[in-house]
Structure 1
Amino acid sequence: MEHKNTADGIYKPIPADYPASPKTNPVVAGVIRGNNNSKVYHLPTGCPSYDTIKQKNIVEFSSEAEAQAAGFRKAGNCR
């Protein structure tokens, strides 16, 4: 028996300006994320580990200076 997509369960398309799901993107774009365990911060662009921090460990900063003042250092893999 072959599977055929039926679109069952689709209620309506998600609008382009709809905010991301809290599960997939809990932080507003452009916010610097720090990892409370490692005391390393990641930038939203140029840092491959930005989206891999566990939710429970995320600390948000509005600037690199703020992150550094809190004792965090920039991730080594950020470009």
Structure 2
Amino acid sequence: MTCDNCAADLTAKIYFIATSAEYTPPVIYSLDERNKLVYLIQARPSRPDVLRVGQPISVFLNPKTPVADRR
């Protein structure tokens, strides 16, 4: 988990991943615009006190985490 002016050691436990993608503007879809498809992910940060409401963050999955632990 990363964000501007955040500590490097922030982690989060993901508890929901949407089953369908949402499209970010512009509205016109093309194959070149695929990178603008996003999935809603809800996560609980390990240290919520250092984050602000509405603060944009990026969450990355750790591919080394066993699948059972990802659920």
Question: Per the shorter chain, which TM-score range?
Answer: under 0.3
Task: Determine which structure has more spread, i.e. the larger CA radius of gyration.
Answer: 1
TM-score by length of 2: 0.25
TM-score by length of 1: 0.23
Structure 1 or 2: larger strand share? 2
